[in-house]
Amino acid sequence: MARRRVQLPPVKIGVLGLGTVGCGTLNVLARNRDEIARRAGRNIEVVAASARDLDKQRPIDTQGIRLTTDPFSVVDDPSIEIVVELIGGTDPARELVMRALDNGKDVVTANKALIALHGNEVFARAQAQGLTVAFEAAVAGGIPVIKTLREALAGNAVEWLAGIINGTCNYMLTAMSERSADFAEVLAEAQALGYAEADPSFDIDGIDAAHKLTILASIAFGIPLQFDKVHVEGIRNITLDDVRYAEALGYRIKHLGFAKRAAAGIELRVHPTLVPRRVMLAHVNGVMNGILIRGDAVGPMLLSGAGAGADPTASSVVADIVDVVRALTVDPNNRVPHLAFRADSLSEAPILPMADVESAYYLRLSAVDQPGVLADITRILADLRISIEAIRQPEAADGDATVSIIILTHRVGEAAMNAAVERIARLSGIGANITRIRMEEFA
């Protein structure tokens, strides 16, 4: 005889923030309501939502939802089981999330700043309460990279990962490469499309990518979240000339996050990188993100998809909501650990200082067009045992007394490259600004 299914009541959720991701989440929940209920085993009902300005026009249907300017009233609402935090930043998001946990509610968030900076404390509180804080949307928008690293790759020792993990930077670098777009103009486009952070300097200065790399590294290697140890560089100094010279040499400039396990410790760095055009990652363009992961068992694998935007990010938020609903009836001790490894089994592997990191380099300098300058530069590199892979000197424009010199080096320690740049800058006839961008071959 067929067993009768018990019909569980709808799960009530409260949404904090009705911006790009908040509206996307409400729309996806409404549009796919029946499919989502068939997966979760229960209906999911948004009963309350908060925003700062309730008069703002929003592309959502709020019928039946209690709207408020007070997010704490949502977090304190006893009928709500799951709080979805989509405000961003750490204040008031941290207090709201902690209060939601204290009130016995599970949390879903897209907030990488919160997780990277306060995740250790947030997860400890969640674990003590037997609750879940789910954060798939915090890294790479719609790409299920957290679930992949945490669950699908559980049998691997992850060796390294390299990712385009900021959609705004990738959108901007792609536009510079494909249509010679102006930096400020294309940043404004990314903002209008809802890709950029509330403060876009988080995107272009690499901080957002560093937040995400902190989270990925923790899950990949089983280490605590250590945002303050990430080396961070953004894309502010990348010029159209660099983009063109890199293309001419067979590379694309991408803003990458790297996490690599070495014998002496772990590398954590975020910076613009020349990526060879033969590598698939070089073809992840626009707002798409791509994360190349190397596990000892699976080998290299590339995950790619939209890294920002309303619907793609909502895809991850809603998947987390479904996961949390499914877990409501599971023994909290049997849930997948927040950071993939059991909290009492995290590794104390040190994060390597940049001085110990090796990389190949692209150097661009401007020099007075006179004999001997190039010889002086190559002598400095030779003295520091920096091996040159290629040198280009594009023809100077008519009447221009200075020329650009492009040098690609083989892999070299950071300390030697610092010394080389310092000595070259002191040569007479060399312009003060020497651009250096790391290169990775992914051989």
Instruction: Kindly state whether residue 205 participates in binding ligand HSE, applying the rule CB under 6 A.
Output: no
User: Coil, helix or strand for 235?
Assistant: coil
* Annotated catalytic residue 212: yes
Question: Which option in ligand HSE, ligand NDP, none does residue 203 bind, with CB closer than 5 to 8 A by kind?
Answer: ligand HSE
Q: Which CB, 274 or 291, lies closer to ligand NDP?
A: 291
Q: Which CB, 172 or 437, lies closer to ligand HSE?
A: 172
Whether 17 contacts 51, CB under 8 Å: yes
One-letter amino acid for residue 189 of the chain: E
Torsion over CA: 307, 308, 310, 316 (sign): positive
Q: Which CB, 11 or 165, lies closer to ligand HSE?
A: 165
Instruction: Kindly state whether residue 143 participates in binding ligand HSE, applying the rule CB under 6 A.
Output: no
Neighbour count for residue 23 (Cβ, 10 Å): 23
At its nearest, how many Å lie between ligand NDP and the CB of residue 310? 7
Instruction: Kindly state whether residue 320 participates in binding ligand HSE, applying the rule CB under 6 A.
Output: no
Question: Tokens for 430?
Answer: 């060399």
At its nearest, how many Å lie between ligand NDP and the CB of residue 87? 4
List the one residue from 195, 227, 361, 362 that touches ligand HSE (CB under 6 A).
195
Interacting residues with ligand NDP (CB under 6 A):
17-22, 50-53, 56, 71, 86-88, 92, 110-112, 137, 141, 194-195, 197-198, 308-309, 313
**Rounded alpha-carbon distances, angstroms, from residue 248 to 211, 277, 278, 406:** 32, 11, 14, 11
The CA distance from 106 to 122, in Å, is 12
Residue nearest to ligand NDP (CB): 19
User: Coil, helix or strand for 5?
Assistant: coil
Question: Which option in ligand NDP, ligand HSE, none does residue 71 bind, with CB closer than 5 to 8 A by kind?
Answer: ligand NDP
Cα–Cα nearest to 219, from 309, 148, 290, 281 = 148
The CA distance from 106 to 300, in Å, is 34
Question: Which option in ligand HSE, ligand NDP, none does residue 309 bind, with CB closer than 5 to 8 A by kind?
Answer: ligand NDP
Site map for ligand HSE, 153-172, x if CB under 6 A? -------------xxx----
* Total of chain residues touching ligand HSE, rule CB under 6 A: 11
Instruction: Kindly state whether residue 17 participates in binding ligand HSE, applying the rule CB under 6 A.
Output: no
Residues 6+ apart with CB under 8 A from 442: 162, 275, 276, 279, 281, 292
Question: Which option in ligand NDP, ligand HSE, none does residue 305 bind, with CB closer than 5 to 8 A by kind?
Answer: none
Q: Which CB, 295 or 309, lies closer to ligand NDP?
A: 309
The CA distance from 318 to 36, in Å, is 9
Reading phi first (left if > 0) and then psi (alpha if -120 to 50, else beta), residue 103 is in alpha
The CA distance from 239 to 236, in Å, is 8
Q: DSSP code of 430?
A: B
Site map for ligand HSE, 291-310, x if CB under 6 A? ----------------xx--
Q: Which CB, 127 or 289, lies closer to ligand HSE?
A: 289
Instruction: Kindly state whether residue 208 participates in binding ligand HSE, applying the rule CB under 6 A.
Output: yes
At its nearest, how many Å lie between ligand NDP and the CB of residue 263? 35
Question: Which option in ligand HSE, ligand NDP, none does residue 177 bind, with CB closer than 5 to 8 A by kind?
Answer: none
Q: Which CB, 202 or 361, lies closer to ligand HSE?
A: 202
The CA distance from 153 to 299, in Å, is 11
Residues 6+ apart with CB under 8 A from 252: 173, 177, 246, 274, 275, 277, 282
Catalytic residue (choose from 105, 112, 147, 212)? 212
Q: What does the binding site for ligand HSE look like in residue numbers (CB under 6 A)? A: 141, 166-168, 195-197, 203, 208, 307-308
The residues annotated as belonging to the active site are 212
